[in-house]
């Protein structure tokens, strides 16, 4: 924004025109007044002045990462949207909770700190100050008394406590909920549970060669219990990012690279803290149906959870001992199996290399497997459909036909899904088909499509054919029937079992970075873990001088550098002396939690942010998040970006269900209604050859590149530094004021639509505020300028506008609400103005959108108190229609004229008026119409 433009807008025109300078002064004054009055404080049950009769409205924004770069113009869109409905509901008398805080742990903050060479705490606190100042400049009606950051000791104390809740519980699939692990121990001690030799639990009957609890060693008992915990140490093949120096969750990997920074990620086995989110898979999927969420987000989560019904089937090996277990979603195609494939990581591969049977080309298998394993995910994907593999030289026995079928190894089979092995049905699976074609393996057709379809490889449902052998006959059965028949047969004959498989995996929850919550746990020499007791939480993040990660092929948690912190005693660390004598030497956990930890429950903490005896007080939790007469429980409205569709929203749902199961929360879903604001894009310019030109090198009027004169095409693109089309909200506010900024971003289009920023358009809503200002203030004298007499047409229009704006806010249709206010102001201007009383009502409907100027109007009109907490104006139903209405008359599907009739006319009267219309009569030429359709208040259609 040029200074010149600024000067022009301020220094010309009458002395009391609504200018950016005036807007700035007004905005500062009212922001101060709101802060002093604590106008937006939400009251909890028990607070003085709490109104139990008021409806609650918990309106939540996704709290930002305070990165050092400051706020972007895209950031406020959702915040303005949430602020408008929050302000509106407050004026309607609701008890509104609209909080804000800071998601301050995690990779971005740490990376920024590393880049600038300053401690993350310092840079983070500074960034928070910047963000807070920027957000306050918008006049958001946040209850700033509830503000906190995830790095606050009083907050992460409870993040650690919640993790310990998971560590101290197990999942009881018999009742489908998490329970304290102490209840499992009780069940074991009262012999309700049996174990097999491996220590697997059984609730139904003692396994044939079972083992008593007492027969296990102490270590085995510990491992059995640890294996049940919802937070556990798992030996997993994990995503290791050498550049970031940490492991990452599956959700954080995009196309084989880290979501943050785009660094390569390799897979390697590691012992890491995991969350048993898979135990909740069924419920996380099921309750999606109860949520008022955007369809795209629900399907994304459903796909991520990835439920698949089918069967586990076992194939006995011919040349070796043992069997291959596979998962298939198409057991009906069992008789179409012509070969089997295992992943390069499958244990059978090692077994074959260890004791190679005859005819096994050991060297070439080893080569293939090594190449496949070392190929990065990026390479694998780049290869696309071209499949590679190698025969293992061994065979498996088909469980039904008894025929030997060859076993191959190929990296098109993923180690991480099912059993890392498949039965290949090249007749009815595209991938198996491609593989069979390449390596000339037999292809059998065993499913006939319902209709005649010419397809080389039909993978839909149909009728089973060629599916007969002595053991099994499913010929003629539909796919569904055949699936059931094969599963039944397999279970009866001991070849397998019907099973549901899930794509979702347990959540890898530890990171090797510094800037995160330490785990509240220690372990002794023998590897037994002990929790830090509640009174000793939080385990403070120690100060580290050198927090830069070592770029390494081997994960080294940064906290491991602090030997004196790591090596301590049970008493020092805060382990309950009843569990471990205080002088026992222990090691602290050196991993930290990922950035997601803090955002999994921050909305719970807002209910009761000061509580230092519980993560949330029971009364506060039940009031703000519990089910009530009007709502099913959870946050009433959550507004934020669609980029969080899987990770944050899934993780938070998981924590919520866990805490609900353990009796700490009264609702089982965190976010009842979810809304995604659209992406803010920008215009960019493209040359003929497709290359992009920075926005400041283009003459926008003529669409030519200034330097060359070449004609460029305007396209829509993401804002980026390189295109120099990034807009800084501070600049826009300096030129037009926060009210104009708020109006502009809401007026651009639907809140959930992606739309391009166009600085040129801002002046439209600025002019609207100027016109509104002129209705109240004489531009020359600065005096109040109101009409004495009330204009009937304007009064009707005001009623309509009040009704429309209220309805539009309820459905978050802010662009149309603003349009109707502009229309009203234009009408009022043409009619010579408004009475003081009309202006008073108008100021109140304007208030949620442009709160500062509305407060100024409110005060100028002589009101005491704040407009922001004034009552939303009523409208009179009977004032919504004019006394006489105009109706278009169609003949032969075209509008031929319009008639003016009293609003309460009968259908006969309307028809008579329509037929009497000159043009209509002319077209009819004296003939009687066949039919006349009257849609009350809308249209008359004459059919000749």
Which of positions 658-697 make contact with RNA (CB under 7 A)? none
822 scored as a contact of RNA (CB under 7 A) = yes
Shortest spacing between CB 505 and RNA, in angstroms = 8
Shortest spacing between CB 423 and RNA, in angstroms = 7
Find the binder of RNA among 72, 771, 796, 831 (CB under 7 A): 771
Find the binder of RNA among 765, 846, 853, 913 (CB under 7 A): 765
Shortest spacing between CB 386 and RNA, in angstroms = 7
Pick the closer one to RNA by CB: 721 or 760.
Answer: 760
Distance CA 709, CA 248 (A): 48
Shortest spacing between CB 43 and RNA, in angstroms = 32
Pick the closer one to RNA by CB: 58 or 747.
Answer: 747
Distance CA 944, CA 932 (A): 9
218 scored as a contact of RNA (CB under 7 A) = no
890 scored as a contact of RNA (CB under 7 A) = yes
888 scored as a contact of RNA (CB under 7 A) = yes
Pick the closer one to RNA by CB: 552 or 826.
Answer: 826
φ, ψ (nearest 5 deg) of residue 912: -60, -45
- Can you name the residues that pair with 530 across neighbouring β-strands? 522
Find the binder of RNA among 351, 475, 816, 863 (CB under 7 A): 816
Distances (CA, A) of 506 to 236, 251, 579, 654: 10, 11, 29, 11
The per-residue DSSP string of 487-498 comes to: HHHHHHHTSEEE
Find the binder of RNA among 155, 766, 849, 875 (CB under 7 A): 766
With CB under 7 A as the contact rule, which of the stretches 100-108, 378-386, 545-553, 555-563 interacts with RNA? 378-386
Shortest spacing between CB 844 and RNA, in angstroms = 19
Pick the closer one to RNA by CB: 209 or 452.
Answer: 452
824 scored as a contact of RNA (CB under 7 A) = no
Distance CA 211, CA 189 (A): 14
Find the binder of RNA among 166, 441, 580, 642 (CB under 7 A): 642
Site residues (CB under 7 A) for RNA, limited to 242-281: 254
For residue 864, how many other CB atoms are within 10 A of its CB? 6
Site residues (CB under 7 A) for RNA, limited to 697-726: 701, 716
Pick the closer one to RNA by CB: 68 or 81.
Answer: 81
Shortest spacing between CB 334 and RNA, in angstroms = 11
826 scored as a contact of RNA (CB under 7 A) = yes
**Size of residue set near RNA by CB under 7 A:** 95
For residue 770, how many other CB atoms are within 10 A of its CB? 18
Find the binder of RNA among 186, 296, 370, 720 (CB under 7 A): 296
With CB under 7 A as the contact rule, which of the stretches 200-208, 238-246, 354-362, 768-776 interacts with RNA? 768-776
Which residues have CB under 8 Å from 822's CB, separation 6+? 765, 768
804 scored as a contact of RNA (CB under 7 A) = yes
Distance CA 214, CA 221 (A): 9
Residue 350 gets the label, from left (phi > 0), alpha (psi -120 to 50) or beta, of alpha
With CB under 7 A as the contact rule, which of the stretches 56-64, 475-483, 487-495, 638-646 interacts with RNA? 638-646
Site residues (CB under 7 A) for RNA, limited to 300-329: 300, 303-304, 306, 308, 310, 326-329
886 scored as a contact of RNA (CB under 7 A) = yes
Pick the closer one to RNA by CB: 291 or 570.
Answer: 291
Pick the closer one to RNA by CB: 113 or 485.
Answer: 485
> Within 13 A of 84's CA, how many CA atoms are on the CB side?
30
Nearest Cα to 402, choosing from 349, 492, 471? 471
Which residues have CB under 8 Å from 84's CB, separation 6+? 746, 809, 814, 848, 849
Q: What is the CA radius of gyration of the chain?
A: 34
The three-state DSSP-derived secondary structure of 343-402 is: CCCCHHHHHHHHCCCCCCCHHHHHHHHHHHHHCCHHHHHHCCCCCCEEEEEEEEECCCCC
What tokens does 549 get?
Answer: 């990660």
Q: What would the x/- binding string for RNA be over residues 336 to 375, using CB under 7 A?
A: -------x--------------------------------
Helix (H) or strand (E) holding 660: helix 647-661
Bridging pattern class, strands 674-676 and 637-640: parallel
For residue 506, how many other CB atoms are within 10 A of its CB? 19
Pick the closer one to RNA by CB: 87 or 387.
Answer: 387
Angle of CA points 801, 844, 754, to nearest 5°: 65
Site residues (CB under 7 A) for RNA, limited to 499-518: 501, 503
Nearest Cα to 251, choosing from 650, 743, 580? 650
174 scored as a contact of RNA (CB under 7 A) = no
Find the binder of RNA among 756, 833, 851, 873 (CB under 7 A): 756
783 scored as a contact of RNA (CB under 7 A) = no
CB 86 within 8 A of CB 61: no
φ, ψ (nearest 5 deg) of residue 321: -70, 150
Find the binder of RNA among 536, 767, 796, 831 (CB under 7 A): 767
591 scored as a contact of RNA (CB under 7 A) = no
Distance CA 933, CA 914 (A): 11
458 scored as a contact of RNA (CB under 7 A) = no
770 scored as a contact of RNA (CB under 7 A) = yes
Distance CA 845, CA 859 (A): 15
Distance of CA 78 to the CA centre of its chain: 13
With CB under 7 A as the contact rule, which of the stretches 169-177, 262-270, 393-401, 637-645 interacts with RNA? 637-645
823 scored as a contact of RNA (CB under 7 A) = yes
Angle of CA points 824, 828, 829, to nearest 5°: 115
Site residues (CB under 7 A) for RNA, limited to 604-623: none
Bridging pattern class, strands 56-61 and 567-569: unpaired
With CB under 7 A as the contact rule, which of the stretches 132-140, 651-659, 756-764, 846-854 interacts with RNA? 756-764
Site residues (CB under 7 A) for RNA, limited to 404-443: 411-414, 416-418, 420, 422-423, 425, 429, 431
With CB under 7 A as the contact rule, which of the stretches 130-138, 183-191, 446-454, 894-902 interacts with RNA? 894-902
330 scored as a contact of RNA (CB under 7 A) = yes
- Per DSSP, the three-state class of 619 is helix
Find the binder of RNA among 36, 208, 289, 295 (CB under 7 A): 295
């Amino acid at each position: 924004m040029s200074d010149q433009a600024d000067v022009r807008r301020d220094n010309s025109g009458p002395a009391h025109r609504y200018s950016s300078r005036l807007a700035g002064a007004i905005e500062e004054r009212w922001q101060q007044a709101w802060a002093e009055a604590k106008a937006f404080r939400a009251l909890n049950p028990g607070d003085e002045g709490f109104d139990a009769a008021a409806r609650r409205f918990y309106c939540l924004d996704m709290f930002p990462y305070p990165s050092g770069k400051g706020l972007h113009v895209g950031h406020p869109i959702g915040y303005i949207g949430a602020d408008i409905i929050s302000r509106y509901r407050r004026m309607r008398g609701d008890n509104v909770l609209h909080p804000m805080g800071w998601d301050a742990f995690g990779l971005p903050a740490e990376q920024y700190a590393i880049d600038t060479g300053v401690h993350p705490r310092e840079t983070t606190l500074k960034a928070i100050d910047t963000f807070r100042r920027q957000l306050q400049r918008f006049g958001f009606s946040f209850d700033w008394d509830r503000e906190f950051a995830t790095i606050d000791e009083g907050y992460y104390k409870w993040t650690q406590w919640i993790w310990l809740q998971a560590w101290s519980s197990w999942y009881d699939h018999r009742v489908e909920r998490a329970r304290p692990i102490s209840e499992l121990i009780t069940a074991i001690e009262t012999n309700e549970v049996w174990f097999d030799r491996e220590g697997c639990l059984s609730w139904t009957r003692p396994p044939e060669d079972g083992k008593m609890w007492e027969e296990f060693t102490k270590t085995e008992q510990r491992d059995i219990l640890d294996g049940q915990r919802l937070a556990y140490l798992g030996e997993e093949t994990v995503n290791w990012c050498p550049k970031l120096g940490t492991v990452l969750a599956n959700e954080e990997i995009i196309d084989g690279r880290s979501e943050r920074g785009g660094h390569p990620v390799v897979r390697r086995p590691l012992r890491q803290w995991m969350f048993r989110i898979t135990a909740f898979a069924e419920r996380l999927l099921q309750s999606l149906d109860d949520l008022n969420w955007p369809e795209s987000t629900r399907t994304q989560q459903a796909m991520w959870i990835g439920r698949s019904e089918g069967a586990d089937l076992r194939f006995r090996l011919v040349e070796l001992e043992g069997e291959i277990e596979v998962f298939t979603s198409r057991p009906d195609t069992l008789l179409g199996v012509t070969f089997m494939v295992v992943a390069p990581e499958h244990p059978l591969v090692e077994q074959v290399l260890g004791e190679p049977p005859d005819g096994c080309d050991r060297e070439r298998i080893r080569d293939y497997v090594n190449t496949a394993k070392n190929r990065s995910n990026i390479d694998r994907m780049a290869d696309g459909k071209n499949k590679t593999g190698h025969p293992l030289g061994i065979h498996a026995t088909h469980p039904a036909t008894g025929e030997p079928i060859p076993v191959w190894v190929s990296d098109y089979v993923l180690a991480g899904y099912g059993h890392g092995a498949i039965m290949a049905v090249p007749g009815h699976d595209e991938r198996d088909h491609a593989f069979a074609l390449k390596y000339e393996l037999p292809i059998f057709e065993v499913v006939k499509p319902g209709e005649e379809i010419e397809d080389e490889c039909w993978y839909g449902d149909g009728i089973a054919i060629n599916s007969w052998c002595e053991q099994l006959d499913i010929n003629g059965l539909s796919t569904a029937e055949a699936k059931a028949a094969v599963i039944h047969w397999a279970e009866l004959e001991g070849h397998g079992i019907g099973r549901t498989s899930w794509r979702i995996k347990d959540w890898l929850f530890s990171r090797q970075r510094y800037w995160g919550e330490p785990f509240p746990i220690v372990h002794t020499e023998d590897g037994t873990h002990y929790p830090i007791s509640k009174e000793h939480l939080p385990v403070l993040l120690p100060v580290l001088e050198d927090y830069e990660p070592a770029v390494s092929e081997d994960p080294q948690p940064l906290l491991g550098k602090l030997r004196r912190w790591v090596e301590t005693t049970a008493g020092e660390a805060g382990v309950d002396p009843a569990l471990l004598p205080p002088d026992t030497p222990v090691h602290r956990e050196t991993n930290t939690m990922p950035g997601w930890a803090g955002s999994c429950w921050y909305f719970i903490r807002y209910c009761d942010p000061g509580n230092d005896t519980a993560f949330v007080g029971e009364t506060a939790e039940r009031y703000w998040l519990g089910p009530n007469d009007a709502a099913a429980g959870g946050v009433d409205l959550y507004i934020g970006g669609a980029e969080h569709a899987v990770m944050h929203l899934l993780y938070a749902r998981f924590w919520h269900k866990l805490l609900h199961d353990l009796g700490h929360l009264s609702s089982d879903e965190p976010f009842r209604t979810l809304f995604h604001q659209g992406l803010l894009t920008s215009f960019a310019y493209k040359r003929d050859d497709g290359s992009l030109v920075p926005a400041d090198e283009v003459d926008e009027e003529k669409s030519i590149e200034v330097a060359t004169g070449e004609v460029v095409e305007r396209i829509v693109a993401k804002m980026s530094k390189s295109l120099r089309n990034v807009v800084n909200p501070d600049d826009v506010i300096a030129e037009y004021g926060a009210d104009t900024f708020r109006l502009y971003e809401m007026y651009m289009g639907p809140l959930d639509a992606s739309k391009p920023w166009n600085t040129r358009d801002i002046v439209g809503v600025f002019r609207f505020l100027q016109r509104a200002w002129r209705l109240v203030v004489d531009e020359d004298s600065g005096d109040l300028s109101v009409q004495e007499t009330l204009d009937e047409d304007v009064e009707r229009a005001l009623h309509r506008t009040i009704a429309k704006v209220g309805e539009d806010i309820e459905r978050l249709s802010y662009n149309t609400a603003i349009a109707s206010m502009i229309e009203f102001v234009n009408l009022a201007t043409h009619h010579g103005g408004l009475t003081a009383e009309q202006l008073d009502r108008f100021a109140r409907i304007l208030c949620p959108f442009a709160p500062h100027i509305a407060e100024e109007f409110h005060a100028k009109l002589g009101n005491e108190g704040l407009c922001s907490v004034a009552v939303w104006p009523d409208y009179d139903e009977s004032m919504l229609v004019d006394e006489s209405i105009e109706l278009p008359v169609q003949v032969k599907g075209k509008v031929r004229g319009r008639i003016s009739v009293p609003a309460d006319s009968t259908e006969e009267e309307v028809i008579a008026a329509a037929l009497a219309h000159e043009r209509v009569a002319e077209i009819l030429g004296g003939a009687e119409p066949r039919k006349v359709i009257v849609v009350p208040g809308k249209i008359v259609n004459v059919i000749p």
